Amino acid sequence: MTTTDVTRVAGYREVTDRNGRVYRVGESDIDIMGRKRKWMVILPWIGMMGISSAEYAFASAEDTLHEAHHWSSGSIYWMMTAWVFCQAAVAFPAGRLRESGRLPARWAMMLGSGGTLLGYLSLAFAPHVALAFIGFGVFSGMGAGMVYATCVNMVGKWYPERRGGKTGFVNGGFAYGSVPFVFIFHGYMDGSNFRWVLVSAGVFLAATVAIAGFYFRDPPKNWWPAAIDPLNPPEDPRARRSLDKNPPAVKQYSPLEAWKTGRVALMWFCLACTSGVNIFGIAFQVDIGEEAGFAAGVVATAMSLKAIVNGTGRGVIGWLSDLYGRKQCLLYVCAILGLAQFGIILAAEIKNLPLFLLFSAISGFGGGAIFPMFAALTADYFGENNNAANYGMVYSSKLVSGLGAGMGSVVVGVWGYNGAYTLAGSISIFAGIVALSLRPPGRPRNKHVTPNPQPLGEG
């Protein structure tokens, strides 16, 4: 790259590369917010843990909710579908509000905190399942969408030079936080104490989201780390390899411009397929284990293991994608997630507990790893300035994939677990085939960052 323009402004410089992309350099993280940028990894990670149990531990509460409220199992699964639908639906409008400055990160997190509390209160006290749909499915889902979109995009803005591992770590919080609640909801909560348990969980998790979010702050538009030269290969070998394998976007795309490239639609389809498989697996992990004859405690352990590996997978695959490339890792993840569904069928059929635990863990790894891949790919392809809105478009695919719980119950009823898991595995593998056509817009095939033969201009 060669410098085509350098503009000095008080405290920072704006440099423009040959593609016309502007980088704001010269300000450190401490200059901007008074603390190291690592806090914009730790705090979003904590915030994500605060919303995770509503999705990943919900299936563990199904039996108790059925017993306590006499809600049908189908209604409960569709309630989870409504939660996922609303979480995804709010992503794009919230992203637009965030990028326009009308919804600061801190207030987005406060709204998410309120939705989280209202969701658990609804599950505890709703006199009719319709009110639980509104309180948990709608308001808790929308609140979780606010938190998710804010946390994931926050870390990508603060680590534009190696966002894969950081995004994956933060994304992992969306699974880790559910682990204790899987055991609490499945092994401790019952018809006699469910209200106390749900209210306590809601207060604790809402406070977690609010406290973490209070300290959120976005970097300025076009910000680039002061220690990293955006026009030359960085000295840091980790940043150098990450930028070589995942070169930054050639420009800052608006949502309309991003859509016109055609990549958003491809990413939307692939994420809809794979996240639908992930949600299906979460919803029916407990049920297929119990049908196979495994003890309730063992099934809860399998679900917790799935959640732990799901979270770990997000961080690990993010780190690997910095080393080997986002798209390459995405293709492997689609294959792993798909094949794991066939493994779960086999383990349940032969009633082999070690295999069941193994394939549950592998499914958890694949199901979690897809999300940081698409979050990081969106910023890689379209830039950071409008990433909340651009990723909101991609993430809105969960409007469809959320049917993995509700439609999954229909498919299981018609085809049984073998047919449903076979369909899920095939869908994930097909998504990987479609993902082969993904490549960065505006950049020739196999084009990497090229060194600038001249030093960074001083203007």
User: 369: closest CA among 416, 431, 448?
Assistant: 431
Q: What percent of the chain has pLDDT over 70?
A: 92
Asked whether the predicted pLDDT for residue 142 surpasses 90, the reply is yes
| Residue 459: per-residue pLDDT | 34
Is the pLDDT at 457 greater than 70, yes or no?
A: no
| Nearest of 371, 64, 60, 375 to residue 191 by alpha carbon | 64
pLDDT band at 402 (very low <50, low <70, confident <90, very high): low
User: What integer is the mean pLDDT of 104-113?
Assistant: 94
164: domain CATH number is 1.20.1250.20
Short-list 83, 206, 74, 56, CA closest to 138: 83
Whether pLDDT at 4 is above 70: no
Render pLDDT for 273-283 as a digit per residue (tens, 0 to 9).
998 888 888 77
Whether residues 351 and 392 fall in one domain: yes
Whether residue 320 lies inside any domain: the answer is: yes
243 in any annotated domain = no
DSSP annotation of 189? -
What's the pLDDT tens digit per position in 217-233? 999 988 988 888 888 77
Lowest mean pLDDT among 43-52, 123-132, 182-191: 182-191
Is residue 375 included in any domain, yes or no? yes
Q: Do residues 163 and 205 share a domain?
A: yes
**Where residue 405 falls among pLDDT bands split at 50, 70, 90?**
low
* Residue 48 sits in the same domain as residue 96: yes
Clarify whether residues 124 and 25 are in a common domain: no
Q: Flag the least confident range among 47-56, 76-85, 168-177, 405-414.
A: 405-414
Weakest-pLDDT range from 256-260, 418-422, 424-428: 418-422
Residue 456 lies in a domain: no
Tally of CB atoms within 10 A around 13: 17
pLDDT at residue 112 greater than cutoff 60: yes
Most confident of 65-69, 374-378, 410-414: 374-378
d(CA 48, CA 144): 9
pLDDT reading at 49 higher than 80: yes
Residues 293 and 430 in one domain: yes
* CA separation for the pair 102, 116 (Å, rounded): 22
Q: Which domain holds residue 14?
A: 1-34
How far, CA to CA in Å, does 55 sit from each of 97, 133, 176, 425? 25, 14, 12, 21
Same domain for 324 and 364? yes
Provide mean pLDDT across the span 65-93.
Answer: 85
Least confident of 28-42, 172-186, 317-331: 172-186
Q: Is 262 left (phi over 0), alpha (psi -120 to 50) or beta?
A: left
Q: Is residue 110 located within the same domain as residue 208?
A: yes
Number of domains in the chain: 2
Same-domain status, 95 and 116: yes
Asked if the model's pLDDT at residue 450 lies above 50, the reply is no
Kindly tell me if the per-residue pLDDT of 3 is higher than 50: no
Q: Are residues 16 and 125 in the same domain?
A: no
- Residue among 312, 307, 308, 301 nearest 357 (CA): 301
The pLDDT score that the predictor gives to residue 446 is 53
Residue type, 266: L
Q: Looking at the structure, tell me whether residues 15 and 39 fall in a common domain.
A: no
For residue range 231-244, list pLDDT tens digits in order. Answer: 877 777 777 888 88
The end-to-end CA distance of the chain, in Å, is 17
Q: Provide mean pLDDT across the span 411-416.
A: 82
Average pLDDT over residues 84-89: 87
Highest mean pLDDT among 104-118, 397-411, 436-450: 104-118
Residue 10: per-residue pLDDT? 52
Query: Does residue 276 sit within a domain?
Result: yes
pLDDT range class, residue 454, cuts 50, 70, 90 = very low
> What would the mean pLDDT of 309-333 be, rounded to a whole number?
88
Residue 199 forms part of a structural domain: yes
9 and 122, same domain (yes or no): no
Other Cβ atoms closer than 10 A to 222: 20
Residue 245 lies in a domain: no
Mean pLDDT of the chain: 85
The rounded distance, in Å, linking the Cα atoms of 98 and 391 is: 12
Convert the pLDDT of each residue in 339-367 to its tens digit.
Answer: 999 999 898 888 888 888 888 889 888 88
Say whether both 191 and 165 belong to one domain: yes
Considering the domain boundaries, does residue 246 fall inside one? no
Residue 187: which of 57, 332, 327, 54 has the closest Cα? 57
